[in-house]
Amino acid sequence: MDVTLEHYLVVSGVLFSLGLLGVIMRRNLLVIYMCLELMLNAANLALVAMSRYNGNLDGQIMVFFIITVAAAEVAVGLALIVALYRRRQTAHVEDLTSLKS
Amino acid sequence: MSYLQLLGLVAPETIVVITALVVLGLDLLILREQPLRHRFWMGAAFAAFGCVLAAAWLLFINSPTHPAGEVSGALPLLRGMFVDDGLVRLVKVALLGLTVFTIAISMESSFTGHVGEYLALILLATVGMMFLVSAEDILMIFISLELTSLSLYILTAFNKRNVKSAEAALKYFLFGGMSAAFTLFGLSLVYGLSGSTGLREIAAKLEQPALDPLLVAAIVMTVIGFGFKVAAVPFHLWAPDAYQGAPTPSAAFIASGSKVASFFVFAKVMMLGFAHAGGSGSWHAYAPGWLPVLAVVAVASMLLGNLAAIAQSNVKRLLAYSAIAHGGYALLGILANGPSGVTSLVYYVVTYGLTVLGAFGVVGLVEERAGEARISDFAGLGRREPLLAFCMMIFMLSLAGIPPLAGFFGKFYVFTAAVGGAKDLGLLWLVIFAIAMSAVSLYYYLQVLKQIYVVPVSAESGSLGAPISSRIVLAVIAFGVVALGCAPDFLVGRLLAAIKLAAL
Protein backbone atom coordinates (compact mmCIF):
# COMPACT_ATOMS: atom_id res chain seq x y z
CA MET A 1 0.00 0.00 0.00
CA ASP A 2 1.26 3.41 -0.87
CA VAL A 3 1.28 5.89 1.93
CA THR A 4 0.02 9.15 0.47
CA LEU A 5 -0.49 12.67 1.74
CA GLU A 6 -4.07 11.85 2.70
CA HIS A 7 -2.92 9.17 5.13
CA TYR A 8 -0.65 11.61 6.89
CA LEU A 9 -3.34 14.24 7.03
CA VAL A 10 -5.87 11.79 8.45
CA VAL A 11 -3.40 10.68 11.12
CA SER A 12 -2.61 14.26 12.03
CA GLY A 13 -6.30 15.13 12.11
CA VAL A 14 -6.98 12.17 14.42
CA LEU A 15 -4.06 13.17 16.68
CA PHE A 16 -5.34 16.73 16.83
CA SER A 17 -8.85 15.60 17.73
CA LEU A 18 -7.54 13.23 20.39
CA GLY A 19 -5.51 16.06 21.88
CA LEU A 20 -8.50 18.38 21.84
CA LEU A 21 -10.70 15.73 23.46
CA GLY A 22 -8.08 15.21 26.14
CA VAL A 23 -7.80 18.93 26.88
CA ILE A 24 -11.56 19.17 27.23
CA MET A 25 -12.24 15.96 29.16
CA ARG A 26 -9.22 15.27 31.34
CA ARG A 27 -9.10 16.70 34.86
CA ASN A 28 -5.40 16.51 35.68
CA LEU A 29 -3.38 19.54 34.59
CA LEU A 30 -0.32 17.51 33.64
CA VAL A 31 -2.34 15.25 31.37
CA ILE A 32 -3.96 18.33 29.85
CA TYR A 33 -0.47 19.66 29.07
CA MET A 34 0.43 16.43 27.34
CA CYS A 35 -2.72 16.70 25.25
CA LEU A 36 -1.79 20.26 24.31
CA GLU A 37 1.57 18.94 23.13
CA LEU A 38 -0.25 16.29 21.13
CA MET A 39 -2.22 19.01 19.33
CA LEU A 40 0.96 20.90 18.48
CA ASN A 41 2.65 17.73 17.28
CA ALA A 42 -0.34 16.90 15.08
CA ALA A 43 0.29 20.23 13.37
CA ASN A 44 3.98 19.32 13.11
CA LEU A 45 3.16 16.05 11.38
CA ALA A 46 0.87 17.83 8.95
CA LEU A 47 3.58 20.39 8.22
CA VAL A 48 6.24 17.80 7.50
CA ALA A 49 3.91 15.83 5.25
CA MET A 50 2.85 18.96 3.37
CA SER A 51 6.44 20.07 3.07
CA ARG A 52 7.29 16.80 1.35
CA TYR A 53 4.18 17.09 -0.81
CA ASN A 54 4.89 20.66 -1.84
CA GLY A 55 8.51 19.91 -2.54
CA ASN A 56 9.97 22.76 -0.48
CA LEU A 57 11.53 22.87 2.95
CA ASP A 58 9.52 25.74 4.48
CA GLY A 59 7.30 23.37 6.45
CA GLN A 60 10.17 21.42 7.91
CA ILE A 61 11.93 24.60 8.97
CA MET A 62 8.74 25.67 10.69
CA VAL A 63 8.62 22.39 12.59
CA PHE A 64 12.00 23.08 14.17
CA PHE A 65 10.81 26.45 15.39
CA ILE A 66 7.57 24.97 16.68
CA ILE A 67 9.37 22.27 18.66
CA THR A 68 11.51 24.95 20.31
CA VAL A 69 8.56 27.16 21.09
CA ALA A 70 6.61 24.20 22.47
CA ALA A 71 9.45 23.44 24.84
CA ALA A 72 9.40 27.02 26.10
CA GLU A 73 5.64 26.82 26.47
CA VAL A 74 5.88 23.68 28.59
CA ALA A 75 8.49 25.33 30.80
CA VAL A 76 6.15 28.24 31.47
CA GLY A 77 3.20 25.90 31.97
CA LEU A 78 5.00 23.71 34.50
CA ALA A 79 6.14 26.81 36.37
CA LEU A 80 2.52 27.89 36.58
CA ILE A 81 1.50 24.49 37.93
CA VAL A 82 4.22 24.71 40.57
CA ALA A 83 3.08 28.20 41.54
CA LEU A 84 -0.47 26.96 41.88
CA TYR A 85 0.51 23.80 43.72
CA ARG A 86 2.44 25.74 46.34
CA ARG A 87 -0.67 27.72 47.24
CA ARG A 88 -3.37 25.14 46.80
CA GLN A 89 -1.82 21.64 46.91
CA THR A 90 -3.79 20.58 43.86
CA ALA A 91 -3.24 19.99 40.15
CA HIS A 92 -6.84 19.33 39.20
CA VAL A 93 -8.91 21.67 37.12
CA GLU A 94 -12.12 21.19 39.07
CA ASP A 95 -10.44 22.79 42.08
CA LEU A 96 -9.79 26.01 40.16
CA THR A 97 -12.90 27.81 41.28
CA SER A 98 -11.74 30.83 43.26
CA LEU A 99 -12.49 33.29 40.45
CA LYS A 100 -16.16 34.19 40.34
CA SER A 101 -18.26 37.24 39.81
CA MET B 1 21.75 42.07 2.41
CA SER B 2 24.23 41.93 5.25
CA TYR B 3 23.46 41.28 8.89
CA LEU B 4 24.24 44.90 9.67
CA GLN B 5 21.48 46.05 7.33
CA LEU B 6 19.16 43.48 8.85
CA LEU B 7 19.96 44.84 12.28
CA GLY B 8 19.25 48.34 11.04
CA LEU B 9 15.83 47.17 9.87
CA VAL B 10 14.92 45.82 13.29
CA ALA B 11 16.69 48.56 15.25
CA PRO B 12 13.61 49.60 17.31
CA GLU B 13 13.02 46.01 18.39
CA THR B 14 16.70 45.63 19.19
CA ILE B 15 16.59 48.75 21.32
CA VAL B 16 13.66 47.37 23.33
CA VAL B 17 15.35 43.98 23.79
CA ILE B 18 18.56 45.61 25.00
CA THR B 19 16.53 47.80 27.35
CA ALA B 20 14.84 44.70 28.76
CA LEU B 21 18.17 43.01 29.42
CA VAL B 22 19.70 46.13 30.92
CA VAL B 23 16.71 46.69 33.20
CA LEU B 24 16.99 43.08 34.34
CA GLY B 25 20.72 43.37 35.00
CA LEU B 26 20.44 46.77 36.63
CA ASP B 27 17.86 45.52 39.07
CA LEU B 28 19.70 42.31 39.90
CA LEU B 29 23.17 43.79 40.29
CA ILE B 30 22.88 47.38 41.46
CA LEU B 31 19.44 48.08 42.87
CA ARG B 32 19.02 44.85 44.86
CA GLU B 33 19.54 46.53 48.25
CA GLN B 34 17.37 49.57 47.60
CA PRO B 35 13.78 49.95 48.85
CA LEU B 36 11.12 48.58 46.52
CA ARG B 37 9.69 51.93 45.51
CA HIS B 38 13.08 53.22 44.54
CA ARG B 39 13.80 50.12 42.42
CA PHE B 40 10.47 50.41 40.64
CA TRP B 41 11.07 54.06 39.88
CA MET B 42 14.56 53.55 38.50
CA GLY B 43 13.62 50.49 36.47
CA ALA B 44 10.45 52.05 35.11
CA ALA B 45 12.24 55.23 34.14
CA PHE B 46 14.85 53.26 32.24
CA ALA B 47 12.31 50.98 30.56
CA ALA B 48 10.18 53.95 29.50
CA PHE B 49 13.29 55.67 28.18
CA GLY B 50 14.05 52.63 25.99
CA CYS B 51 10.51 52.60 24.63
CA VAL B 52 10.60 56.30 23.85
CA LEU B 53 13.94 55.85 22.10
CA ALA B 54 12.53 53.04 19.96
CA ALA B 55 9.44 55.11 19.13
CA ALA B 56 11.62 58.07 18.18
CA TRP B 57 13.63 55.81 15.89
CA LEU B 58 10.44 54.58 14.26
CA LEU B 59 9.18 58.10 13.73
CA PHE B 60 12.27 59.95 12.62
CA ILE B 61 15.03 57.67 11.35
CA ASN B 62 14.99 56.58 7.70
CA SER B 63 11.28 56.08 7.64
CA PRO B 64 10.31 54.42 4.37
CA THR B 65 8.98 57.26 2.25
CA HIS B 66 7.76 54.92 -0.41
CA PRO B 67 7.49 51.36 0.83
CA ALA B 68 7.07 49.90 -2.62
CA GLY B 69 10.51 51.24 -3.52
CA GLU B 70 12.39 50.87 -0.30
CA VAL B 71 10.98 47.73 1.21
CA SER B 72 10.47 45.71 -1.92
CA GLY B 73 14.25 45.58 -2.03
CA ALA B 74 14.04 43.74 1.29
CA LEU B 75 10.88 41.76 0.66
CA PRO B 76 12.18 39.08 -1.71
CA LEU B 77 15.02 38.32 0.67
CA LEU B 78 12.94 38.14 3.78
CA ARG B 79 9.84 36.99 1.91
CA GLY B 80 7.52 39.06 4.04
CA MET B 81 9.02 37.86 7.30
CA PHE B 82 9.49 41.45 8.32
CA VAL B 83 7.56 44.29 6.75
CA ASP B 84 8.41 47.88 7.47
CA ASP B 85 6.05 50.51 6.12
CA GLY B 86 4.33 53.61 7.42
CA LEU B 87 1.25 51.81 8.72
CA VAL B 88 3.26 49.21 10.59
CA ARG B 89 5.42 51.94 12.09
CA LEU B 90 2.38 53.87 13.32
CA VAL B 91 0.94 50.79 15.00
CA LYS B 92 4.31 50.06 16.58
CA VAL B 93 4.56 53.59 17.95
CA ALA B 94 1.07 53.21 19.41
CA LEU B 95 2.12 49.89 20.99
CA LEU B 96 5.20 51.49 22.51
CA GLY B 97 3.06 54.32 23.86
CA LEU B 98 0.68 51.84 25.49
CA THR B 99 3.68 50.04 26.98
CA VAL B 100 5.02 53.27 28.47
CA PHE B 101 1.65 53.98 30.06
CA THR B 102 1.43 50.42 31.38
CA ILE B 103 4.84 50.81 32.98
CA ALA B 104 3.77 54.18 34.38
CA ILE B 105 0.65 52.82 36.07
CA SER B 106 2.56 49.90 37.58
CA MET B 107 5.28 52.15 39.00
CA GLU B 108 3.72 52.51 42.45
CA SER B 109 2.36 49.00 42.82
CA SER B 110 3.60 46.65 45.50
CA PHE B 111 2.37 43.24 44.35
CA THR B 112 5.83 41.93 43.59
CA GLY B 113 9.42 42.25 44.72
CA HIS B 114 10.80 41.10 41.38
CA VAL B 115 10.86 44.46 39.69
CA GLY B 116 13.50 43.69 37.07
CA GLU B 117 11.80 40.54 35.87
CA TYR B 118 8.42 42.23 35.75
CA LEU B 119 9.61 45.14 33.62
CA ALA B 120 11.73 42.90 31.40
CA LEU B 121 8.72 40.69 30.68
CA ILE B 122 6.59 43.69 29.76
CA LEU B 123 9.29 44.82 27.36
CA LEU B 124 9.71 41.34 25.86
CA ALA B 125 5.98 41.08 25.33
CA THR B 126 6.20 44.44 23.57
CA VAL B 127 8.96 43.12 21.30
CA GLY B 128 6.73 40.15 20.47
CA MET B 129 3.89 42.50 19.58
CA MET B 130 6.16 44.66 17.43
CA PHE B 131 7.33 41.65 15.44
CA LEU B 132 3.76 40.42 15.23
CA VAL B 133 2.68 43.69 13.66
CA SER B 134 5.52 43.46 11.14
CA ALA B 135 5.01 39.83 10.19
CA GLU B 136 3.48 38.75 6.91
CA ASP B 137 4.63 35.19 7.18
CA ILE B 138 3.05 32.24 8.97
CA LEU B 139 6.23 31.23 10.79
CA MET B 140 6.96 34.75 12.00
CA ILE B 141 3.36 35.28 13.07
CA PHE B 142 3.38 32.09 15.11
CA ILE B 143 6.68 32.78 16.85
CA SER B 144 5.94 36.38 17.75
CA LEU B 145 2.46 35.39 18.88
CA GLU B 146 4.03 32.86 21.23
CA LEU B 147 6.65 35.32 22.50
CA THR B 148 3.86 37.73 23.38
CA SER B 149 1.61 35.09 24.89
CA LEU B 150 4.27 33.40 27.01
CA SER B 151 5.31 36.75 28.50
CA LEU B 152 1.68 37.60 29.21
CA TYR B 153 1.05 34.26 30.96
CA ILE B 154 3.90 34.95 33.34
CA LEU B 155 2.77 38.54 33.87
CA THR B 156 -0.68 37.23 34.79
CA ALA B 157 0.81 34.92 37.41
CA PHE B 158 3.11 37.59 38.79
CA ASN B 159 1.34 38.20 42.09
CA LYS B 160 2.67 35.16 43.91
CA ARG B 161 1.02 36.14 47.19
CA ASN B 162 -2.43 35.90 45.65
CA VAL B 163 -3.76 32.45 44.82
CA LYS B 164 -6.14 33.94 42.26
CA SER B 165 -3.24 35.17 40.18
CA ALA B 166 -1.83 31.68 39.59
CA GLU B 167 -5.27 30.30 38.85
CA ALA B 168 -6.01 33.05 36.35
CA ALA B 169 -2.67 32.45 34.65
CA LEU B 170 -3.34 28.73 34.36
CA LYS B 171 -6.71 29.29 32.74
CA TYR B 172 -5.18 31.88 30.43
CA PHE B 173 -2.38 29.45 29.61
CA LEU B 174 -4.66 26.52 28.87
CA PHE B 175 -6.89 28.52 26.55
CA GLY B 176 -3.91 30.28 25.02
CA GLY B 177 -2.12 27.00 24.37
CA MET B 178 -5.20 25.61 22.72
CA SER B 179 -5.55 28.72 20.61
CA ALA B 180 -1.91 28.40 19.51
CA ALA B 181 -2.52 24.80 18.47
CA PHE B 182 -5.62 25.78 16.50
CA THR B 183 -3.86 28.66 14.78
CA LEU B 184 -0.93 26.43 13.93
CA PHE B 185 -3.03 23.61 12.57
CA GLY B 186 -5.09 25.99 10.47
CA LEU B 187 -2.01 27.71 9.13
CA SER B 188 -0.30 24.39 8.42
CA LEU B 189 -3.27 23.42 6.25
CA VAL B 190 -2.95 26.75 4.49
CA TYR B 191 0.71 26.02 3.88
CA GLY B 192 -0.19 22.63 2.50
CA LEU B 193 -2.71 24.11 0.09
CA SER B 194 -0.51 26.91 -1.14
CA GLY B 195 3.02 25.58 -0.69
CA SER B 196 4.13 28.88 0.74
CA THR B 197 4.38 30.57 4.11
CA GLY B 198 4.12 34.21 2.99
CA LEU B 199 0.63 35.70 3.25
CA ARG B 200 0.77 37.46 -0.13
CA GLU B 201 2.00 34.35 -1.95
CA ILE B 202 -0.68 32.29 -0.21
CA ALA B 203 -3.36 34.65 -1.45
CA ALA B 204 -1.98 34.43 -4.99
CA LYS B 205 -1.98 30.60 -4.88
CA LEU B 206 -5.46 30.28 -3.39
CA GLU B 207 -7.08 32.32 -6.12
CA GLN B 208 -9.90 30.03 -7.22
CA PRO B 209 -13.64 30.44 -7.25
CA ALA B 210 -14.63 27.19 -5.53
CA LEU B 211 -13.87 26.66 -1.85
CA ASP B 212 -11.75 23.61 -1.11
CA PRO B 213 -13.09 21.76 1.98
CA LEU B 214 -9.57 21.73 3.36
CA LEU B 215 -9.45 25.51 2.95
CA VAL B 216 -12.73 25.81 4.84
CA ALA B 217 -11.23 23.78 7.70
CA ALA B 218 -8.13 25.97 7.60
CA ILE B 219 -10.15 29.19 7.72
CA VAL B 220 -12.34 27.99 10.57
CA MET B 221 -9.34 26.85 12.60
CA THR B 222 -7.48 30.10 12.04
CA VAL B 223 -10.54 32.08 13.08
CA ILE B 224 -10.85 29.91 16.21
CA GLY B 225 -7.19 30.49 17.07
CA PHE B 226 -7.26 34.24 16.65
CA GLY B 227 -10.74 34.35 18.20
CA PHE B 228 -9.23 33.02 21.43
CA LYS B 229 -6.50 35.64 21.18
CA VAL B 230 -8.90 38.58 20.85
CA ALA B 231 -11.41 37.01 23.28
CA ALA B 232 -14.36 36.82 20.90
CA VAL B 233 -17.40 34.72 21.82
CA PRO B 234 -17.48 31.64 21.93
CA PHE B 235 -13.74 31.61 22.66
CA HIS B 236 -13.86 34.21 25.42
CA LEU B 237 -13.98 32.00 28.52
CA TRP B 238 -10.49 32.87 29.72
CA ALA B 239 -10.91 36.63 29.61
CA PRO B 240 -13.03 37.38 32.73
CA ASP B 241 -10.95 35.07 34.92
CA ALA B 242 -7.62 36.28 33.58
CA TYR B 243 -8.59 39.95 33.99
CA GLN B 244 -9.90 39.42 37.50
CA GLY B 245 -7.02 37.36 38.82
CA ALA B 246 -4.10 39.10 37.15
CA PRO B 247 -2.31 42.00 38.84
CA THR B 248 -4.12 45.09 37.57
CA PRO B 249 -1.27 46.52 35.43
CA SER B 250 -0.84 43.12 33.75
CA ALA B 251 -4.55 42.95 33.05
CA ALA B 252 -4.36 46.45 31.60
CA PHE B 253 -1.55 45.37 29.33
CA ILE B 254 -3.44 42.28 28.15
CA ALA B 255 -6.47 44.43 27.44
CA SER B 256 -4.59 47.19 25.60
CA GLY B 257 -1.30 46.31 23.91
CA SER B 258 -1.97 42.67 23.16
CA LYS B 259 -5.43 43.55 21.82
CA VAL B 260 -4.00 46.09 19.39
CA ALA B 261 -1.36 43.71 18.04
CA SER B 262 -3.70 40.70 17.84
CA PHE B 263 -6.41 42.58 16.00
CA PHE B 264 -3.92 44.03 13.55
CA VAL B 265 -2.43 40.65 12.68
CA PHE B 266 -5.89 39.05 12.61
CA ALA B 267 -6.96 41.61 10.02
CA LYS B 268 -3.76 41.04 8.06
CA VAL B 269 -4.14 37.26 7.94
CA MET B 270 -7.77 37.50 6.88
CA MET B 271 -7.48 40.35 4.39
CA LEU B 272 -4.11 39.41 2.87
CA GLY B 273 -3.87 35.65 3.27
CA PHE B 274 -7.48 34.76 2.58
CA ALA B 275 -8.10 37.67 0.22
CA HIS B 276 -9.97 35.50 -2.27
CA ALA B 277 -11.93 33.38 0.18
CA GLY B 278 -13.92 36.17 1.78
CA GLY B 279 -17.40 35.23 0.71
CA SER B 280 -20.04 37.65 1.87
CA GLY B 281 -21.89 38.25 5.10
CA SER B 282 -24.51 40.47 3.53
CA TRP B 283 -28.11 39.93 4.52
CA HIS B 284 -29.40 39.21 1.04
CA ALA B 285 -26.27 37.98 -0.73
CA TYR B 286 -24.79 35.37 1.56
CA ALA B 287 -21.76 33.51 0.24
CA PRO B 288 -19.49 31.11 2.14
CA GLY B 289 -16.06 32.35 3.20
CA TRP B 290 -14.52 33.92 6.27
CA LEU B 291 -16.75 37.01 6.29
CA PRO B 292 -19.95 35.22 7.38
CA VAL B 293 -17.98 33.26 10.01
CA LEU B 294 -16.62 36.48 11.46
CA ALA B 295 -20.04 38.13 11.28
CA VAL B 296 -21.50 35.39 13.47
CA VAL B 297 -18.60 35.68 15.91
CA ALA B 298 -19.04 39.48 16.06
CA VAL B 299 -22.77 39.22 16.77
CA ALA B 300 -22.20 36.63 19.51
CA SER B 301 -19.45 38.75 21.09
CA MET B 302 -21.53 41.91 21.18
CA LEU B 303 -24.58 40.10 22.53
CA LEU B 304 -22.92 38.02 25.23
CA GLY B 305 -20.30 40.59 26.22
CA ASN B 306 -22.82 43.34 26.82
CA LEU B 307 -25.45 41.22 28.51
CA ALA B 308 -23.01 39.42 30.80
CA ALA B 309 -21.33 42.68 31.80
CA ILE B 310 -24.61 43.92 33.27
CA ALA B 311 -24.60 41.14 35.87
CA GLN B 312 -21.06 41.72 37.14
CA SER B 313 -20.26 43.06 40.57
CA ASN B 314 -16.48 43.15 40.15
CA VAL B 315 -15.23 46.03 38.03
CA LYS B 316 -12.35 44.04 36.56
CA ARG B 317 -14.76 41.34 35.38
CA LEU B 318 -17.06 44.05 34.09
CA LEU B 319 -14.20 45.49 32.06
CA ALA B 320 -13.41 41.99 30.78
CA TYR B 321 -16.93 41.47 29.48
CA SER B 322 -16.92 44.97 28.05
CA ALA B 323 -13.64 44.03 26.32
CA ILE B 324 -15.40 41.05 24.76
CA ALA B 325 -18.15 43.34 23.51
CA HIS B 326 -15.60 45.82 22.18
CA GLY B 327 -13.88 42.94 20.42
CA GLY B 328 -17.20 42.40 18.65
CA TYR B 329 -17.34 46.04 17.52
CA ALA B 330 -13.74 45.93 16.35
CA LEU B 331 -14.48 42.83 14.26
CA LEU B 332 -16.74 45.06 12.18
CA GLY B 333 -13.57 46.82 11.04
CA ILE B 334 -12.20 43.52 9.73
CA LEU B 335 -15.56 42.70 8.20
CA ALA B 336 -15.40 45.95 6.23
CA ASN B 337 -12.52 44.22 4.41
CA GLY B 338 -10.73 47.17 2.85
CA PRO B 339 -8.44 50.14 3.53
CA SER B 340 -11.14 52.10 5.36
CA GLY B 341 -11.79 49.02 7.48
CA VAL B 342 -8.15 48.77 8.51
CA THR B 343 -7.97 52.50 9.28
CA SER B 344 -11.05 52.37 11.46
CA LEU B 345 -9.91 49.16 13.12
CA VAL B 346 -6.51 50.58 14.09
CA TYR B 347 -8.04 53.84 15.33
CA TYR B 348 -10.62 51.88 17.29
CA VAL B 349 -8.28 49.45 19.03
CA VAL B 350 -5.65 52.10 19.80
CA THR B 351 -8.14 54.47 21.41
CA TYR B 352 -9.83 51.55 23.15
CA GLY B 353 -6.48 50.38 24.49
CA LEU B 354 -5.66 53.82 25.82
CA THR B 355 -9.06 54.18 27.47
CA VAL B 356 -9.08 50.76 29.08
CA LEU B 357 -5.52 51.30 30.29
CA GLY B 358 -6.68 54.41 32.14
CA ALA B 359 -9.74 52.63 33.53
CA PHE B 360 -7.56 49.82 34.87
CA GLY B 361 -5.23 52.45 36.36
CA VAL B 362 -8.07 53.88 38.45
CA VAL B 363 -9.33 50.39 39.32
CA GLY B 364 -5.84 49.45 40.48
CA LEU B 365 -5.67 52.41 42.86
CA VAL B 366 -9.08 51.58 44.33
CA GLU B 367 -8.11 47.92 44.61
CA GLU B 368 -4.88 48.75 46.40
CA ARG B 369 -6.89 50.48 49.11
CA ALA B 370 -9.98 48.27 49.31
CA GLY B 371 -8.34 44.90 48.64
CA GLU B 372 -10.85 44.11 45.92
CA ALA B 373 -12.46 45.94 43.03
CA ARG B 374 -16.18 45.48 43.63
CA ILE B 375 -18.42 48.14 42.18
CA SER B 376 -19.45 49.09 45.73
CA ASP B 377 -15.82 49.90 46.52
CA PHE B 378 -16.17 52.88 44.19
CA ALA B 379 -18.94 54.42 46.32
CA GLY B 380 -18.48 58.11 46.82
CA LEU B 381 -15.25 58.28 44.87
CA GLY B 382 -16.43 61.60 43.45
CA ARG B 383 -16.10 63.19 46.90
CA ARG B 384 -13.09 61.23 48.08
CA GLU B 385 -10.98 61.66 44.96
CA PRO B 386 -12.43 64.28 42.61
CA LEU B 387 -9.61 64.07 40.05
CA LEU B 388 -9.54 60.25 39.79
CA ALA B 389 -13.32 60.12 39.70
CA PHE B 390 -13.35 62.62 36.85
CA CYS B 391 -10.77 60.56 34.94
CA MET B 392 -12.84 57.41 35.50
CA MET B 393 -15.90 59.25 34.19
CA ILE B 394 -14.04 60.14 30.99
CA PHE B 395 -12.88 56.54 30.52
CA MET B 396 -16.30 55.04 31.17
CA LEU B 397 -18.11 57.47 28.89
CA SER B 398 -15.50 56.93 26.18
CA LEU B 399 -15.98 53.16 26.44
CA ALA B 400 -19.71 53.70 26.15
CA GLY B 401 -19.15 55.87 23.07
CA ILE B 402 -20.29 59.31 24.12
CA PRO B 403 -19.09 62.22 21.94
CA PRO B 404 -16.71 64.04 21.93
CA LEU B 405 -14.56 61.31 23.47
CA ALA B 406 -12.30 58.99 21.50
CA GLY B 407 -14.57 55.97 21.96
CA PHE B 408 -17.36 57.68 20.04
CA PHE B 409 -15.26 58.39 16.98
CA GLY B 410 -13.78 54.89 17.11
CA LYS B 411 -17.24 53.37 16.94
CA PHE B 412 -18.34 55.93 14.36
CA TYR B 413 -15.46 55.09 12.00
CA VAL B 414 -15.85 51.35 12.43
CA PHE B 415 -19.58 51.50 11.77
CA THR B 416 -19.26 53.72 8.70
CA ALA B 417 -16.49 51.50 7.34
CA ALA B 418 -18.69 48.44 7.83
CA VAL B 419 -21.67 50.08 6.14
CA GLY B 420 -19.54 51.11 3.17
CA GLY B 421 -17.55 47.88 3.12
CA ALA B 422 -20.15 45.61 1.57
CA LYS B 423 -22.16 46.03 -1.59
CA ASP B 424 -25.66 47.56 -1.29
CA LEU B 425 -25.26 48.30 2.43
CA GLY B 426 -25.15 44.53 3.01
CA LEU B 427 -23.72 44.82 6.50
CA LEU B 428 -26.31 47.32 7.66
CA TRP B 429 -28.04 44.64 9.76
CA LEU B 430 -24.82 44.11 11.70
CA VAL B 431 -24.25 47.82 12.24
CA ILE B 432 -27.80 48.36 13.49
CA PHE B 433 -27.33 45.48 15.90
CA ALA B 434 -24.02 46.96 17.09
CA ILE B 435 -25.59 50.36 17.70
CA ALA B 436 -28.42 48.78 19.69
CA MET B 437 -25.88 46.84 21.73
CA SER B 438 -23.83 49.92 22.50
CA ALA B 439 -26.98 51.50 23.89
CA VAL B 440 -27.25 48.48 26.20
CA SER B 441 -23.63 48.93 27.25
CA LEU B 442 -24.35 52.44 28.52
CA TYR B 443 -26.30 50.86 31.39
CA TYR B 444 -23.41 49.09 33.09
CA TYR B 445 -20.94 51.92 32.53
CA LEU B 446 -23.42 54.26 34.18
CA GLN B 447 -23.79 51.77 37.05
CA VAL B 448 -20.14 52.40 37.87
CA LEU B 449 -20.53 56.16 37.50
CA LYS B 450 -23.61 56.06 39.73
CA GLN B 451 -21.53 54.50 42.48
CA ILE B 452 -18.87 57.12 42.00
CA TYR B 453 -21.06 60.22 41.96
CA VAL B 454 -24.48 59.43 43.43
CA VAL B 455 -24.05 56.84 46.18
CA PRO B 456 -23.08 58.62 49.41
CA VAL B 457 -19.68 58.16 51.06
CA SER B 458 -19.56 55.72 53.93
CA ALA B 459 -18.09 57.15 57.12
CA GLU B 460 -14.79 55.31 57.32
CA SER B 461 -13.60 55.58 53.71
CA GLY B 462 -11.40 58.58 53.11
CA SER B 463 -9.15 59.51 50.24
CA LEU B 464 -7.29 56.72 48.48
CA GLY B 465 -3.91 58.17 49.32
CA ALA B 466 -2.89 57.64 45.73
CA PRO B 467 0.63 58.80 44.89
CA ILE B 468 0.96 62.00 42.91
CA SER B 469 2.69 60.27 39.98
CA SER B 470 -0.27 57.95 39.40
CA ARG B 471 -2.59 60.91 39.40
CA ILE B 472 -0.50 62.68 36.81
CA VAL B 473 -0.29 59.60 34.58
CA LEU B 474 -4.05 59.01 34.73
CA ALA B 475 -4.75 62.66 34.02
CA VAL B 476 -2.46 62.48 30.98
CA ILE B 477 -4.25 59.36 29.70
CA ALA B 478 -7.63 61.02 30.24
CA PHE B 479 -6.38 64.08 28.37
CA GLY B 480 -5.22 61.79 25.55
CA VAL B 481 -8.66 60.20 25.31
CA VAL B 482 -10.33 63.61 25.11
CA ALA B 483 -7.76 64.96 22.66
CA LEU B 484 -7.98 61.95 20.32
CA GLY B 485 -11.74 62.36 20.42
CA CYS B 486 -11.70 66.10 19.74
CA ALA B 487 -9.08 65.87 17.01
CA PRO B 488 -9.47 62.38 15.54
CA ASP B 489 -7.84 63.59 12.35
CA PHE B 490 -4.48 63.65 14.13
CA LEU B 491 -4.41 59.86 14.04
CA VAL B 492 -6.84 59.08 11.25
CA GLY B 493 -5.12 61.40 8.77
CA ARG B 494 -1.78 59.73 9.38
CA LEU B 495 -3.33 56.27 9.13
CA LEU B 496 -5.01 57.11 5.83
CA ALA B 497 -1.79 58.53 4.40
CA ALA B 498 0.16 55.48 5.51
CA ILE B 499 -2.39 52.98 4.29
CA LYS B 500 -2.41 54.46 0.80
CA LEU B 501 1.24 53.50 0.48
CA ALA B 502 1.00 50.20 2.34
CA ALA B 503 -1.28 48.48 -0.19
CA LEU B 504 -3.14 46.42 2.37
Q: Looking at the predicted structure, is the pLDDT value of residue B62 above 80?
A: no
User: Number of folded domains in chain B?
Assistant: 1
CA distance to B209, B240, B292, per residue, from B287 (Å): 11, 34, 8
- Which of B153, B189, B194 has its CA nearest to residue B171? B153
Q: Which residues of A touch B311 (CB under 8 A)?
A: 101
Q: Just give the CATH number of A5-96.
A: 1.10.287.3510
Per-residue model confidence as pLDDT tens digits over B355-364: 999 999 999 9
Residue window 16-45, chain A: list those with CB within 8 Å of chain B.
16, 19-20, 23, 29, 32, 36, 39-40, 42-43
Q: Cβ of B240 and A88 within 8 Å?
A: no
Per-residue model confidence as pLDDT tens digits over B170-181: 999 999 999 999
Per-residue model confidence as pLDDT tens digits over B460-501: 667 777 889 999 999 999 999 999 999 988 899 888 888 887
What's the average model confidence in pLDDT over B296-313? 94
Per-residue model confidence as pLDDT tens digits over A58-96: 999 999 999 999 999 999 999 999 989 988 888 888 888
Structure confidence at residue B306 (pLDDT): 95
Q: Which residues of B touch A47 (CB under 8 A)?
A: 188, 191-192
pTM of the entire predicted model: 0.94
Task: Look up residue B376 and give its DSSP letter.
Answer: G
Q: Cβ of B181 and A55 within 8 Å?
A: no
Answer whether B99's CB lies under 8 Å from B126's CB: yes
Closest Cβ opposite residue A65 in set B139, B192, B317:
B139
Q: Cβ of B163 and A87 within 8 Å?
A: yes
What's the average model confidence in pLDDT over B102-126? 92
Q: Cβ of B139 and A29 within 8 Å?
A: no
Structure confidence at residue B459 (pLDDT): 60
Instruction: Provide the domain limits for residue B182.
Output: 3-502
Question: Which of B170, B222, B319 to substitute to test the interface with A, most A CBs within 10 Å?
Answer: B170
Q: Cβ of B178 and A99 within 8 Å?
A: no
Q: Which residues of A touch B239 (CB under 8 A)?
A: none
Answer whether B120's CB lies under 8 Å from B162's CB: no
Residues 6+ away with beta carbon under 8 Å from B37: B108
Q: Which DSSP string do the residues of B406-443 spell out, in sequence order? A: HHHHHHHHHHHHHHHHSGGGTTHHHHHHHHHHHHHHHH
